[in-house]
A = this chain, B = another copy of it.
Amino acid sequence: MTVSKNAHIVTSYDDNLRLLYALLDRMGALAISQTRDTIALVVQRAPETAERILEHEAEMNELDVRVNEQVIRLLALRQPLADDLRGVVSGLKVASMLERIGDYSANAARRAPAIANLSAFPVRGPVSRMGDLVIGMLDDALRAFRDPDPALAALVRERDEEVDALHASLFRELLTYMMEDPRTITACTHLMFVSKNLERIGDQATNIAEAAHYRATGCILSGERPKGDTSSSLVWPDGDGPGEDDTLS
């Protein structure tokens, strides 16, 4: 944040607005760092990143509280104009979404020791691809909110389908490993939850993009979001083991 030269007017409306966006920028940077660290837990098997994620989670929670106070202050201080009002209200929502990304990363971080037990590690490639996609979405969603850029926001939303599809495919692959070698069940189960956490971070990036679009235009992106995650409806006939997957509608 560019701090005002006149410290005594730091409580002015414009300064409060700038402080709100500076807090959101910091939360956005933390969310990207936490997501990168979540991917590193799996791809580089870097368990030391787990500690950093949990440290960042505490900061994220504090920042969310500060955003809430700042929003109340702004709304109480002066009735913001149309654009500013949308910015303030969307900012409040974006803060919750970023804080939730912190929660999902922290949940993944707590699974690091369980995952570290896996000797063969077959899912690095897909997790890495999924991670790159999610980071890209998050980065663009935050830029679309900051600039604001409704066209960029609309594009982010379309990319969520690919993340969902990668998660579904990873889920299927992990089920196969568990059936082939029951000794991997615990670790693979935790990996499934890490993959789900990454998929949910993608959902939050999409939500941020929708908030960015609303902030910029006053219009809510309409229509159902494309969905590629079929993992929740994945069934194999009991006792049949992996084979043709029976994806239900």
Q: Which residues of A pack against B, CB within 8 Å? A: 65, 68, 71-72, 75-76, 78-80, 82, 85-86, 89, 92-93, 96, 107, 110-111, 113-114, 117-119, 175, 178-179, 182-187, 189-190, 192-193, 196, 220, 232-239, 241, 248
Contact = CB atoms under 8 A, between A and B. Distances in A.
Contacts of A190: 232
B71 A111 contact: no
B193 A232 contact: yes
A193 to B, nearest CB: 7
A234 B186 contact: yes
Given A75-B79, A86-B72, A186 B182 contact: no
The number of times this chain is found in the oligomer is: 2
Contact of A237 (B78, B117, B182, B236): B117
Contacts of A118: 238
Nearest to A106: B232
